[in-house]
Structure formats: structure tokens, C-alpha cells
């Protein structure tokens, strides 16, 4: 989690980082490592099957974008996956879910080791998603705003047959405009509300969140997807916030004007996406709740994780197909989740 000029989260390496949430102004820092992995390798990092490893936390909405994109595009065999423990400590995201507490490919215990291999004493925190160069075990990029765009446009030579075009050139201006408002007011807005240290700061963010959600709800009332009649990057970016809304943002971040389940349009839209291969099969509700409620001790000092909400509604009919639209355009759905990447039963409805 972390990035862009709009704000900065507490440094993951700061011993007071977790407890400082809600006690100092919230800023999300710009990605320090913004190299791009491209088809022509112009930044020194050419697209190459098997060379890179994507490090994520299933708790993190920014990392979840990359999880969804990778699945939809069929890049699982080309870009391997490391899943960090949702409970990072003051040394950063850690690989305690793996045998021996080490990532089996990179051989490291903490993601911070890949950051240090790239630049010793680098500024900023240790964030996910991160793409690491396997041969050198050094970080390549943590620019979450660009990573998924490049997976869609630069990694095309490794896409599966039938992969959707998630960033079609003819729609990019509209996609960018829609994503900008959603990022500012929703993706980042819930954090501005949740980590606000003053009443006025919180109220301003709260107003922005629900003003934008109302606009998005109006937009989606008559069309199945945000832009055009197929899935795009814009839908991925909205989904990763909406899927967390009732579980953590409504209560933990005090975005409580209404639950997502109380907006018929948005609730149907996000269920439609959740039930689409490549979306819901990347979501771990257990990791999401464990991370937010146990790591953000500044705003939940007891560390108590709520038992709710009831997840059974995620699998109920949504009827969004009645609006038309073709989720994958002229393409096809992704195949089954690769062995070893399945979300455990406790994280699913």
C-alpha cells in the first residue's frame, strides 16, 4: 500500500508507524521506484517470462489491482506470485506464510530486503505491490499506478489467448478521467477519512467519498461497466475498494453514511465483478480484516477483529447481465486459479 503525490502513509519501517495512524496528517507518498518493465526494455527491464516476481498482500487494495489484472490477462505462468502475511511488522511485509518464513523463490524473509538490495537506505516505506527481479533479488518497481497499465499494454506478448483489452487505446482518455475521480475521492478518500486526525479533515473526506460514490452509482445505473461495454482498468480500480467497503471502510474508517449493500446499483455491480473469474477468486476477506483491524493500532488499539459482516450475499444473483455488456469483449474468461494460489476457505463466502 502507498503512492502518488496526494499523500503519505506512515513509514512501514518506523517503529511508531502502525500506532501513528490517525494521530498525524495522512499523506500517501509518491512511488520512489518508478522504473517500468516494458516490451522494449527502455528502463533496463525488458518483459521476460519467469524473470520477475510480483509481491502482494491480499489485504491491500493497491496490490489487489495487480492480482486481478494478472489473472484476467493470464500472466500467472510468466509472472510468479509471492503473497505476504497480512500482519506486517516494523520491518515491513514478511513471508511468514511460507515454509521457514522465507519466500521460496527470492529466499528473503522481508520485502524490505529487496528494497535494500536495490537502494540502501532508500526514502519512503516498503509498499506492495512490488515487482522484484528474481536473478538479482532487487526491487524493480513499486509504482502501483503504472504496474497494471503496463501489464495490460507492455506484456501483451505473454498474455493468454483470449485475454481482454483492459486499457483500449480508443477509450483511454475516458478511462483516465473516470479513474482520476475514483482514485482521489474513493480509493484514496477512504484512507483520508479513516486516518484523519481532525474532525474537519475527516468530514471533508467523508463528503468526497459519498459524493463520488453517488456519481458512480448514477453512471452504473444504466450501464454494466464504467467505460464502454467491457471490463477495463477502471472497473478493477473501483472493485478493489468496493469489495472492502462493508468489511472495513464502513466501520473501521468511519465511512458510515450507508453500507454498500444499501446501494442497490453498487451492490449489484460489485457482486457482478466478484462473481466474474479473475475478481472474486483473488479476494481474501480474512486477510483484509486481519490487516486493517490488527495493524492499524492507532485507530483500533484493541486489535479486535469483527466477526461480520455476513459474506453469503456475495454469491447471490445480481442481474447485471440484463444491461448487456460483454465482460471479456471478444475474448474469454481466465482459466482456473493455479494450484497454490487459491484463497483459503476462511477467506471466502
Residue 13 in this model has a pLDDT that exceeds 80: no
Cα distances (Å, whole numbers) of residue 103 to 88, 250, 262, 296: 14, 34, 41, 25
Asked whether the whole model's pTM tops 0.75, one would answer yes
Interval 135-160: pLDDT, tens: 999 999 999 999 999 999 999 999 99
Confidence of residue 90 (pLDDT cuts 50, 70, 90): confident
β-bridge partners, 81? 54
Output the furthest CA–CA distance in the chain (Å, rounded): 54
Q: In the structure, what pLDDT confidence band is assigned to residue 17 with cuts at 50, 70 and 90?
A: low
Rounded CA separation 225/205 (Å): 25
Alpha helices in the chain (DSSP H): 61-73, 112-118, 144-153, 172-182, 189-194, 199-220, 233-244, 264-274, 285-295
Give the model's pLDDT for residue 15.
Answer: 39
| Span 117-130, average pLDDT | 90
Name the band, by pLDDT with cuts 50, 70 and 90, for residue 14: very low
131, 78 contact by CB (below 8 A): no
Q: Which three cell numbers stand for residue 172?
A: 483511454
Over residues 201-229, mean pLDDT: 98
- Taking alpha carbons only, the member of 82, 222, 217, 227 closest to residue 164 is 227
Q: Let me know: does 134 contact 52? Beta carbons within 8 Å.
A: yes
- Give me the pLDDT at residue 16, please: 46
Q: How far is CA 72 from CA 112, 144, 160, 166, 258, in A?
A: 28, 17, 9, 9, 31
Q: pLDDT tier at 8 (50, 70, 90 boundaries)?
A: very low
> Is 60 one of the annotated active-site residues of the chain?
yes
β-pairing verdict for 80-83 and 27-28: unpaired
- 223, pLDDT greater than 70: yes
The one catalytic residue in 21, 52, 110, 191 is 191
Residue 61 predicted with pLDDT over 60: yes
- Comparison of pLDDT for 327 and 1, the residue scoring more: 327
Helix/strand/coil for 17: coil
pLDDT digits (tens, 9 = 90+) for 19-49: 556 655 555 556 689 999 999 999 999 999 9
Does 89 score more than 90 pLDDT? no
Q: What angle do CA 259, 179, 254 make, to 5 degrees?
A: 30
Residue 274 CB neighbour total at 10 angstroms: 20
pLDDT at 10: 39
191 is catalytic: yes
Write out the three cell numbers for 74.
493470464
Question: Which residue is catalytic, options 21, 60, 183, 255?
Answer: 60
Going by the DSSP 8-state scheme, the letter that residue 255 receives in this structure is -
Number of Cβ within a 10 Å radius of residue 162: 14
Provide the terminal-to-terminal Cα distance of the chain, rounded to the nearest Å.
25
**CA 35 → CA 46, 140, 170, 196, 332, distances in Å?**
11, 6, 26, 31, 31
Residue 178 to residues 171, 283, 294, Cα–Cα distance (Å)? 11, 23, 33
Q: For residues 292-314, give the mean pLDDT.
A: 97
What is the pLDDT, as a whole number, of residue 5?
29
Enter the C-alpha cell of residue 25. Answer: 496528517
pLDDT the model gives residue 2: 41
pLDDT of residue 183 exceeding 50? yes
Please give the distance of CA 257 from its chain centroid, rounded to a whole number: 23
pLDDT tens readout for residues 169-182 = 999 999 999 999 99
Give the pLDDT of residue 78: 98
In this prediction, residues 251-265 reach a mean pLDDT of: 98
Half-sphere CA count of 253, side-chain side, radius 13 A? 28
What mean pLDDT, rounded, does the chain reach?
93
pLDDT, tens digit, 9 for 90 and up, residues 274-287: 999 999 999 999 99
Q: Provide the pLDDT for residue 19.
A: 59
Read off the pLDDT of each residue in 224-233 and give the average, rounded to a whole number. Answer: 98
Amino acid at each position: 500500500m502507498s503512492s502518488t503525490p496526494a499523500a503519505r502513509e506512515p513509514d512501514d519501517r518506523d517503529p511508531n508507524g502502525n500506532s501513528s495512524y490517525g494521530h498525524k496528517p495522512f499523506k500517501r507518498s509518491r512511488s520512489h521506484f518508478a522504473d517500468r518493465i516494458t516490451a522494449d526494455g527502455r528502463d533496463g527491464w525488458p518483459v521476460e517470462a519467469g524473470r520477475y516476481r510480483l509481491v502482494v498482500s491480499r489485504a491491500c487494495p493497491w496490490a489487489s489491482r495487480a492480482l486481478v489484472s494478472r489473472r484476467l490477462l493470464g500472466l500467472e505462468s510468466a509472472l510468479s506470485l509471492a503473497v505476504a502475511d497480512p500482519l506486517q511488522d516494523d520491518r515491513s511485509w514478511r513471508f511468514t506464510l511460507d515454509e521457514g518464513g522465507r519466500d521460496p523463490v527470492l529466499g528473503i524473509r522481508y520485502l524490505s530486503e529487496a528494497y535494500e538490495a536495490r537502494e540502501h537506505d532508500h526514502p519512503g516505506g516498503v509498499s506492495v505491490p512490488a515487482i522484484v527481479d528474481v536473478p538479482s533479488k532487487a526491487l524493480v518497481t513499486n509504482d502501483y499506478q503504472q504496474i497494471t497499465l503496463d501489464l495490460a499494454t507492455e506484456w501483451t506478448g505473454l498474455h493468454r489467448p483470449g485475454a481482454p483489452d483492459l486499457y483500449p487505446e480508443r477509450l483511454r482518455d475516458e478511462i483516465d478521467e473516470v479513474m482520476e475521480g475514483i482514485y482521489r475521492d474513493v480509493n484514496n478518500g477512504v484512507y483520508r477519512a479513516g486516518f484523519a486526525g481532525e474532525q474537519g479533515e475527516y468530514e471533508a473526506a467523508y463528503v468526497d467519498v459519498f459524493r463520488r460514490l453517488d456519481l458512480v452509482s448514477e453512471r452504473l445505473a444504466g450501464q454494466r461497466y464504467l467505460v464502454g461495454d467491457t471490463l477495463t482498468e477502471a472497473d478493477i480500480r473501483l472493485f478493489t475498494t468496493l469489495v472492502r467497503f462493508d468489511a472495513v471502510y464502513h466501520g473501521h474508517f468511519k465511512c458510515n453514511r450507508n453500507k454498500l449493500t444499501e446501494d442497490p446499483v453498487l451492490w449489484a455491480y460489485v457482486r457482478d465483478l466478484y462473481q466474474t473469474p479473475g475478481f472474486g477468486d483473488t479476494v481474501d476477506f480474512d486477510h483484509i480484516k486481519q490487516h486493517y483491524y490488527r495493524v492499524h493500532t492507532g485507530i483500533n488499539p484493541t486489535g479486535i477483529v469483527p466477526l461480520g459482516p455476513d459474506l453469503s450475499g456475495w454469491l447471490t444473483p445480481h442481474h447485471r447481465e440484463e444491461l448487456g455488456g460483454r465482460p471479456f469483449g471478444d475474448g474469454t474468461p481466465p482459466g482456473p486459479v493455479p494450484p497454490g494460489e487459491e484463497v483459503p476457505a476462511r477467506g471466502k463466502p
